Structure 1
């Protein structure tokens, strides 16, 4: 079973967080955090998509479907973010998955004197419907202007996907506290070693 630290919530959209459940994509064998149906159910609950104590646990077939959806979301999002059209098969799978559950009712709130979205009213009753909510989020992202802000973490050993909502649109890391600081420390140490080597020469 995956532990909470295996799941990273820095994507900025639930569909990107879901894509990030396959870690270290740069490796020949990436790290799978959804190892079994229980992991999938726990992730969907942590993501706020699946009601706790859902009556029907996920099956191996639902897990396989979820992993297939995850890779479809990843391919489609990266294609459109790069200015290309997604594969027609990926569009078909996203549409079919998104139709598996009714769209939750959007709520509104008054915040600082203006109307804003306040989330949705319901959680899915089973894992298949929760995966449909992931697909719906991916469809929303693909059709939104935010798709141009999807990035891949700039750290050499990461490759997590995230939505750059920084004011200057120049965010490079999935998380400053994780990849950003580590990369800066590593680069600083490398510069210090070069300076020492130059001084000794």
Structure 2
């Protein structure tokens, strides 16, 4: 998984290895493609603390994060991610949110978050940075607080699952019209458009033969 600096989002890869840009629309949802509960465990990429450090560097968090992650914090990250995955899926499908998953998010959010600071930028400008010595615990608190903002904010009803039958990526639709259906047009959107086009052509051919 690679970050894209010019455009928010993550560069993921199809099963065939082709890269595509996926923007889940929120920091907390960027954590979900790293794995998940149940059958999604086969996609696990957070195997060691360095993997979480790499995820943070590739996320939409501003750069320059001096982060150290312990083995126990890595386990906490997977637990938070799995809870967020269940909550986002429940929200996307209009189901009630499980109290046990909310407890996981609230417990992480109650801890100290990452500490932002201002550093000198190019020329006379300034850039947003992070206080040195950040911990995995602080990172997870920041992710959990982002989730609280999302689930209680104006976009809570726009959390969706990709409309493709074979894709379970979750995102928040931040587009003005609120009609986003696919994880990415260059992957599922185009595939489903091509499938619909073939179905229409097949129907036209069948009618022509009748």
In which range does the TM-score fall when normalised by the shorter chain? 0.7 to 0.9
2:145 aligned with 1:133, yes or no? no
**Is the Cα contact below 8 Å between 1:6 and 1:33 reproduced in 2?**
no
Q: Could you give the per-residue CA deviations for residues 89-141 of structure 1, whole angstroms, max 9, x where no partner exists? A: 2222111111232365699xxxxxxxxxxx96536712221121111101111
Ranked by relative contact order (alpha carbons within 8 Å, sequence separation 6 or more), the top structure is 1
Map of 1:176 onto structure 2: 185
RMSD: 3.2
Counterparts of 2:169 and 2:40 in 1: how far apart (Å)? 16
Map of 1:116 onto structure 2: none
The offset of 1:81, in angstroms, is 5.0
Listed as ranges, the gaps of 5+ residues in structure 1 are 108-118
How many residues of Structure 1 are paired with residues of Structure 2 in the alignment?
Answer: 185
Map of 1:16 onto structure 2: 29
Q: 1:185 to 1:84 in 2, by over 3 A?
A: closer
**Is the Cα contact below 8 Å between 1:51 and 1:125 reproduced in 2?**
no
Listed as ranges, the gaps of 5+ residues in structure 2 are 3-10, 14-20, 119-126
Q: 1:185 to 1:26 in 2, by over 3 A?
A: farther
Map of 2:163 onto structure 1: 154
The offset of 1:63, in angstroms, is 2.2
- SS of 1:145's equivalent in the other structure is coil
Map of 2:16 onto structure 1: none
- Superposition misfits of 4+ residues, deviation over 6 angstroms: none
Map of 1:88 onto structure 2: 99
Q: 1:165 to 1:127 in 2, by over 3 A?
A: same
Q: 1:36 to 1:50 in 2, by over 3 A?
A: farther
**Is the Cα contact below 8 Å between 2:160 and 2:173 reproduced in 1?**
yes
2:86 aligned with 1:75, yes or no? yes
**Is the Cα contact below 8 Å between 2:163 and 2:182 reproduced in 1?**
yes
Counterparts of 1:131 and 1:102 in 2: how far apart (Å)? 8
- SS of 1:151's equivalent in the other structure is strand
- SS of 1:162's equivalent in the other structure is strand
TM-score between both structures, scaled by the size of structure 1:
0.75
The offset of 1:15, in angstroms, is 0.7
Q: 1:99 to 1:18 in 2, by over 3 A?
A: same
The offset of 1:9, in angstroms, is 4.4
Counterparts in 2 of 1:57-68, with a 5 A limit?
57-59=69-71, 61-68=72-79
- SS of 2:134's equivalent in the other structure is coil
